């Protein structure tokens, strides 16, 4: 029903906006909660057992994270006597809130729900989950000052490594995208305390790249690597562009995805954290391997095809082509 859909999308926007605008922890928590409740019907709309399972998992993790956040902010108010987001001083609630937000966006080691949930959704809802749902927790993470640097660095490194290792043995594209999301978030968290503007830049470029990747997979109607391998008969032009989009997601120069990684490594080196920068760069190689493998499946191998399955070389859904064109060009040539 379009009215229900409009209401839910409005709720999605409202929750994020409330969190953005709030300086009081209770209001921020409320925004996150509205956000979660608005996306749950969108996730379960197909009534498929996998979708219902994914929705339940998502609801439980998000409720846990929100409860942790509420508990931490109440503890903070109890210890220090104020609710202001920017005035956090006590280390205990600070640590707890950081961990709650990490669970909300799916940072390692609290990442295990993300691949499972994303695998159960269709690509459009998956796109909303991978992009829009990350905004509100990130707004809070950017606002809290003086978090213990060790926690952030540990979370960031663990996420880049898990995002690399986890994606290696996956054949399902949505799970690969989930692990890639974990790895990208790790990069953002690594640089969070040294240069928040770089975190925002990385988040923005990640959004653009994920947007075009999801749209490509949606147009190909493919959810596994096998389905991608036979997609060259359906849309040859798309098939030749997709590897560039994927390699940009992996962070290969001269594509857009290289920019945030480059600047983050430079900033880490400026902060005398050369070993950390080296580890992060090496963990990016793991991610690059599975993007290369998908690109290889798409363009460098010809899968056996029966010619009856060859559809005409034109897009089936014209309303997707303009956003896809814009997103793809941005993903390839913004550097």
Q: Which residue has the higher pLDDT, 308 or 177?
A: 177
Average pLDDT of the chain is 93
Distances (CA, A) of 308 to 63, 74, 111, 305: 49, 64, 43, 9
Residue 308 has pLDDT above 60, yes or no: no
pLDDT of amino acid 295: 92
d(CA 290, CA 164): 8
pLDDT value of residue 231: 79
Q: Which helix (H) or strand (E) holds 200?
A: helix 196-220
Comparing 207-221, 235-249, 303-317, the range with the smallest average pLDDT is 303-317
Closest residue by Cα to residue 226 from 178, 180, 173: 173
Q: Is the pLDDT of residue 221 over 90?
A: no
Per-residue H/E/C for 104-141: HHCCCCCCCHHHHHHHCCCHHHHHHHHCHHHHHHHHHH
Q: Please tell me the predicted confidence (pLDDT) of residue 145.
A: 84
Structure tokens at 246: 């994927």
According to the model, what pLDDT value does residue 21 have?
97
pLDDT, tens digit (0-9, with 9 covering 90-100), for 124-163? 999 999 999 999 999 999 999 889 999 999 999 999 999 9
Measured between alpha carbons, how far is 230 from 232 in angstroms, rounded to an integer?
6
Tokens of 13: 């926007």
**Average confidence (pLDDT) over 70-79:** 97
Give the Cα separation of 298 and 172 in Å (integer).
Answer: 14
Question: Exposed, middle or buried by CB within 10 Å (0-12, 13-18, 19+), for 197?
Answer: exposed
Asked if the model's pLDDT at residue 306 lies above 60, the reply is no
Question: For residue 239, is pLDDT > 90?
Answer: no
Q: What is the pLDDT of residue 310?
A: 54
Instruction: Specify the pLDDT at position 305.
Output: 62
Exposure on the CB side of residue 21, measured as CA atoms within 13 A? 8
Is the confidence at residue 52, as pLDDT, over 90? yes
CA distances from 148 to 99, 117, 137, 247, 285 (A): 12, 30, 18, 34, 28
Q: What percent of the chain clears pLDDT 90, i.e. is strictly above it? A: 84
Model pLDDT, residue 235: 75
Each residue's pLDDT tens digit, 262-304:
999 999 999 999 999 999 999 999 999 999 999 998 888 776 7
pLDDT value of position 232: 76
**Integer CA distances (angstroms), 269 to 26, 263, 274, in order:** 38, 10, 5
Q: What pLDDT does residue 226 have? A: 87
Better-predicted residue by pLDDT, 174 or 306: 174
pLDDT at 167: 94
Give percent above pLDDT 70 in the chain. Answer: 96
Q: What is the pLDDT of residues 186-217, one digit of tens each?
A: 999 999 999 999 999 999 999 999 999 999 99
pTM value? Answer: 0.94
Looking at residue 307, its pLDDT comes to: 54
Q: How many CB atoms lie within 10 A of CB 83?
A: 17
The per-residue pLDDT for 134 is 97
The HSE-up count of residue 13 (CA atoms within 13 Å, CB side) is 5
pLDDT at residue number 316? 61
């Amino acid at each position: 029903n379009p009215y229900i859909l409009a209401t839910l999308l409005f709720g999605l926007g409202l929750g994020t906006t409330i969190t953005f605008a709030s300086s009081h922890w209770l209001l921020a928590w409320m925004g996150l909660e509205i956000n979660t409740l608005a996306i749950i019907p969108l996730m379960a709309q197909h009534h498929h057992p996998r979708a219902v399972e994914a929705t339940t998992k998502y609801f439980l993790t998000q409720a846990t994270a929100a409860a942790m956040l509420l508990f931490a902010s109440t503890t903070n108010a109890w210890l220090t006597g104020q609710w202001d987001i920017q005035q956090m001083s006590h280390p205990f609630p600070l640590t707890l809130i950081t961990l709650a937000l990490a669970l909300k966006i799916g940072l390692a080691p609290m990442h295990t729900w993300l691949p499972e949930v994303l695998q159960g959704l269709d690509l459009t809802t998956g796109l909303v989950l991978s992009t829009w749902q990350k905004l509100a927790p990130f707004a809070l993470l950017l606002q809290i000052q003086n978090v213990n640097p060790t926690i952030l660095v540990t979370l960031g490194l663990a996420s880049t490594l898990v995002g690399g290792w986890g994606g290696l043995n996956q054949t399902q594209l949505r799970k690969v995208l989930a692990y890639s999301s974990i790895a990208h978030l790790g990069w953002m968290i690594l640089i969070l305390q040294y240069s928040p503007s770089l975190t925002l830049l990385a988040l923005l470029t990640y959004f653009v790249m994920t947007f075009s990747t999801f749209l490509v997979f949606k147009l190909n109607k493919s959810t596994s690597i096998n389905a991608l391998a036979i997609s060259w008969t359906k849309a040859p032009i798309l098939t030749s562009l997709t590897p560039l989009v994927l390699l940009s997601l992996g962070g290969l120069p001269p594509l857009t995805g290289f920019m945030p990684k480059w600047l983050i490594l430079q900033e880490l080196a400026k902060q005398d954290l050369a070993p950390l920068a080296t580890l992060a760069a090496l963990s990016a190689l793991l991610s690059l391997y599975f993007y290369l493998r998908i690109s290889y499946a798409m363009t460098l191998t010809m899968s056996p095809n029966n010619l009856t399955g060859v559809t005409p070389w034109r897009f089936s859904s014209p309303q997707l082509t303009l956003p896809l064109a814009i997103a793809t060009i941005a993903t390839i040539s913004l550097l």
